[in-house]
């Protein structure tokens, strides 16, 4: 069971959102095949520019559970590659998107605090301007933000841990009871090895051709959370398998 102790000054903040954050103008998606252990620490890893946001997807490899990065691989990465009409790389590949914008509309993402292994998260487009009245695909990624240097990474990473996708039809006539928005909220499962205090959400909306129209990312104020669980929040994240002792051969 996950127990959160929040300082009195932070109790008023029960969620984190993209409110007040600069609007990203570019989205970068870095894909790593789990078979490539050296790719995590590759000094040539692409770096997002100013006002850009990066996602890190680890793709299940042909070695299965024996792959060096299997601990953080997710099948959501395969689904994302399929959506991009890209094949699985032998090592790495990077997708770069210029964010087009939707005139008269904005995107908001938010999430609550972790509870019992889940995180409530949402993505919202409003108002539904004339430019937003089209078929749209919404993506919301639960990511673990990992600092430069962790397991030798040369860049900060937003490691994708879970994904929500939703098809919206902006042409749909809203009833009187509905607000002038497109909205989705879900409870997202937290990967057992993830540190709850490093989690946040990154969302984006695409048109039918896969062009990224809007993106947003949540940021949290420092909540001074104390996390009590089987895996304390200050435990180092294990990306690569531990080194074998000298003279020890793997079975």
Residue with tokens 């490539």: 36
Query: What's the CATH number where 159 sits?
Result: 2.60.40.10
Domain that holds residue 55: 3-228
Helix (H) / strand (E) element for 77: namely helix 76-83
157 found inside a domain: yes
Helix (H) / strand (E) element for 160: namely strand 157-169
Question: What average pLDDT does range 227-237 have in this prediction?
Answer: 43
235 found inside a domain: no
| pLDDT tens sequence across 176-214 | 666 789 999 999 999 999 999 999 999 999 999 999 999
99 found inside a domain: yes
- Please state the domain count of the chain: 1
Give the pLDDT band (50/70/90) at residue 242. Answer: low
241 found inside a domain: no
242 found inside a domain: no
pLDDT at 220 (0 to 100):
84
Average pLDDT value over all residues in the chain:
87
Residue with tokens 């395969």: 78
122 found inside a domain: yes
Write down the number of H helices and E strands in the chain.
Answer: 1, 13
153 found inside a domain: yes
| pLDDT tens sequence across 45-92 | 999 999 999 999 999 999 999 999 999 999 999 999 999 999 999 999
Asked whether the predicted pLDDT for residue 5 surpasses 60, the reply is no
Give the pLDDT band (50/70/90) at residue 13. Answer: low
The least confident of 100-109, 182-191, 217-226 is 217-226
Q: What is the largest CA-CA distance in the chain?
A: 72
The C-alpha angle with vertex 200 and arms to 92 and 219, in degrees rounded to 5, equals 115
246 found inside a domain: no
Q: Which strands form 92-98's sheet, in the order they lie side by side?
A: 92-98, 26-33, 52-59, 157-169, 135-146, 199-206, 212-217
């Amino acid at each position: 069971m996950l127990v959160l102790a929040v300082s009195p000054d932070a109790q008023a903040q029960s969620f984190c959102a993209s409110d007040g954050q600069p609007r990203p103008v570019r989205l970068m998606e870095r894909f790593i095949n789990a078979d490539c252990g050296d790719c995590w620490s590759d000094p040539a890893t692409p770096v997002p520019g100013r006002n850009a946001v990066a996602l890190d997807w680890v793709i299940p490899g042909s070695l299965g559970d024996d792959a060096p990065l299997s601990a953080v691989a997710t099948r959501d990465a395969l689904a994302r590659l399929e959506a991009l009409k890209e094949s699985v790389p032998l090592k790495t590949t990077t997708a770069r998107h210029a964010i087009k914008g939707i005139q008269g509309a904005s995107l908001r993402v938010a999430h609550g605090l972790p509870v019992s292994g889940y995180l409530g998260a949402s993505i919202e487009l409003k108002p539904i301007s004339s430019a937003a009245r089209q078929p749209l695909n919404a993506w919301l990624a639960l990511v673990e933000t990992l600092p430069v240097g962790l397991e030798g990474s040369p860049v900060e990473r937003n490691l994708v841990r879970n994904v929500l996708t939703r098809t919206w039809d902006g042409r749909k006539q809203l009833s009187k009871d509905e607000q002038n928005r497109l909205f989705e909220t879900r409870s997202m499962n937290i990967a057992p090895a993830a540190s709850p205090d490093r989690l946040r959400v990154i969302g984006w909306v695409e048109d039918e051709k896969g062009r990224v129209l809007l993106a947003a990312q949540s940021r949290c104020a420092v909540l001074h959370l104390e996390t009590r669980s089987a895996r304390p929040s200050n435990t180092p994240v294990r990306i690569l398998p531990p080194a074998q002792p000298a003279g020890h051969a793997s079975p």
